[in-house]
Amino acid sequence: MPGTYGTLVGLLLYLPLALLSLPVYLLLTLGVIVAGIPICRYGAEQLGRHDHPGIVWDEIAGFLVAMIAVPLSLSSVLVGLVLFRLFDILKPWPICWLDRQIPGGTGMMLDDILAGAVTCGCLHGLLYAGWLT
């Protein structure tokens, strides 16, 4: 459940960012990602466990990646939330590989960033197909 809460925080951050230009959105998302590597590493060290459920910065970053260049609408946000949580929880290959193989804050961030990228691709495919507005 903490990952879902982290994703909801990501949603709250996404809403105002979605109103910005794409280059500014990308720059701020990159800042969240870069800051997340030492934040997640420090959290794991303090909590004594890699990818502790209480560390949700990676979900925030992953959701921001999921919504890159996705038009702001109720349907896109809801579908984005559901898809991102599914990919983050189920961790299909290669997300699961990143989660197991890359240690520290980088590994913690990368699996959620990849889950966000896969979600983003799905959302853009749905938008292109006209199945999402």
* Cα(120)–Cα(130) distance, integer angstroms: 15
pLDDT digits (tens, 9 = 90+) for 66-85: 999 999 999 999 999 999 99
Quote the pTM value: 0.93
pLDDT band, residue 29 (cuts 50/70/90):
very high
Residue 99 phi, psi (nearest 5): -60, -35
